[in-house]
């Protein structure tokens, strides 16, 4: 596994265990991480308003104040770049908006849909939620995306359904300065008391993440998580299964 802030090494070895019965397959993932990272773009109050802590939030390229994450992609191919779904460069799609971070996009080119599970520590992960996502062909940009006022993501999206989190601010690409805040605690003292003693950045030597998928059912991967039948997908005509 590769990523930022893994003890300065940029990578960690992942242990994968799996068992199955007639209807379910169970996964357990374990990896080493010398730090605990739970801060996801926190806000700080200054004289002129609320500011986002973290570098480059307006270009979707944050490496500071970023949470621990872990993703699993199911693909029929073991080709380079997540089964051939990673396309690097400042503008890999000539007729679509360029990626904000100038690094590239995730999308497929053969009409296939790849299933992905993504655990995000500060966005539901500690509550037992895992994001059910997918990588498919590039979508048509919305009016806001075409105008450069919203992030275009090519073929990388979350499955339909109610999300377990939302951002507490709204900014457009290129935004600088104070960020409009959506809501604030009704009782700041009570909020501080409720989180007293909780460490956002304490030392934590390892991660262990159990996942379960049940064929033909609508049961959660973890308590409260949402999922879809792995034999179906919400794109008509695009079917995939876990193997």
Per domain, the residue ranges of the chain are: 35-115+133-202
pLDDT digits 0-9 by tens, 170-180: 899 999 999 99
Distance of CA 129 to the CA centre of its chain: 12
Q: What is the enclosing helix (H) or strand (E) of 119?
A: strand 114-120
- pLDDT value of residue 122: 87
Give yes or no for a contact between 181 and 43, defined as CB atoms under 8 angstroms apart: yes
pLDDT digits 0-9 by tens, 19-74: 999 999 999 999 888 778 888 888 888 999 999 988 899 999 888 888 888 999 99
Give yes or no for a contact between 133 and 157, defined as CB atoms under 8 angstroms apart: yes
Nearest to 12 by CA among 206, 196, 210, 171: 206
Q: How confident is the model at residue 3 (pLDDT cuts 50, 70, 90)?
A: low
pLDDT digits 0-9 by tens, 65-115: 888 889 999 998 888 888 889 999 999 999 999 999 999 999 999 999 999
- pLDDT value of residue 238: 34
Maximum mean pLDDT: which of 158-162, 208-212, 215-219: 158-162
Asked if the model's pLDDT at residue 205 lies above 50, the reply is no
Q: How confident is the model at residue 201 (pLDDT cuts 50, 70, 90)?
A: low
Cα–Cα distance for residue pair 207/232, rounded to 1 Å: 30
Q: Taking all residues of the chain, what is their mean pLDDT, rounded to a whole number? A: 80
Asked if the model's pLDDT at residue 1 lies above 90, the reply is no
> Among 7-11, 132-136, 233-237, which stretch is predicted with the lowest mean pLDDT?
233-237
- pLDDT value of residue 18: 95
- pLDDT value of residue 104: 95
Cα distances from 35 to residues 16, 40, 151, in angstroms, run 21, 15, 30
Q: How confident is the model at residue 221 (pLDDT cuts 50, 70, 90)?
A: very low
Say what the pTM is.
0.75
pLDDT digits 0-9 by tens, 141-170: 999 999 999 999 999 999 988 887 888 898
Distance of CA 194 to the CA centre of its chain: 27
């Amino acid at each position: 596994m590769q990523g930022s802030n893994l003890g300065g090494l940029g990578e960690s070895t992942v242990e994968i265990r799996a068992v199955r019965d007639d209807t379910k397959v169970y996964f357990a993932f374990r990896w080493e991480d010398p730090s605990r990272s739970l801060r996801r773009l926190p806000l700080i109050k200054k004289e002129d308003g609320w500011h986002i802590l973290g570098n480059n939030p307006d270009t979707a390229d944050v490496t500071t104040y970023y949470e621990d994450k872990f993703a699993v992609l199911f693909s029929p191919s073991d080709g380079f770049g997540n089964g051939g779904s990673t396309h690097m460069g400042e503008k890999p799609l000539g007729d679509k908006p360029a990626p904000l971070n100038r690094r590239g996009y995730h999308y497929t080119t053969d009409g296939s849909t790849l299933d992905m599970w993504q655990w995000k520590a500060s966005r539901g992960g500690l509550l037992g939620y895992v994001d059910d996502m997918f990588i498919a062909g590039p979508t048509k940009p919305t009016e806001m995306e075409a105008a450069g006022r919203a992030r275009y993501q090519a073929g990388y999206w979350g499955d339909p359904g109610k999300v377990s989190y939302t951002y507490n601010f709204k900014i457009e690409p290129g935004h600088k300065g104070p960020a409009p805040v959506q809501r604030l605690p009704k009782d700041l003292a009570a909020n501080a008391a409720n989180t007293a003693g909780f460490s956002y950045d304490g030392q934590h030597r390892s991660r262990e993440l159990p996942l379960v998928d049940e064929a033909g059912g609508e049961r959660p991967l973890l308590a409260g998580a949402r999922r879809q039948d792995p034999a179906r997908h919400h794109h008509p005509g695009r079917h995939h299964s876990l193997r």
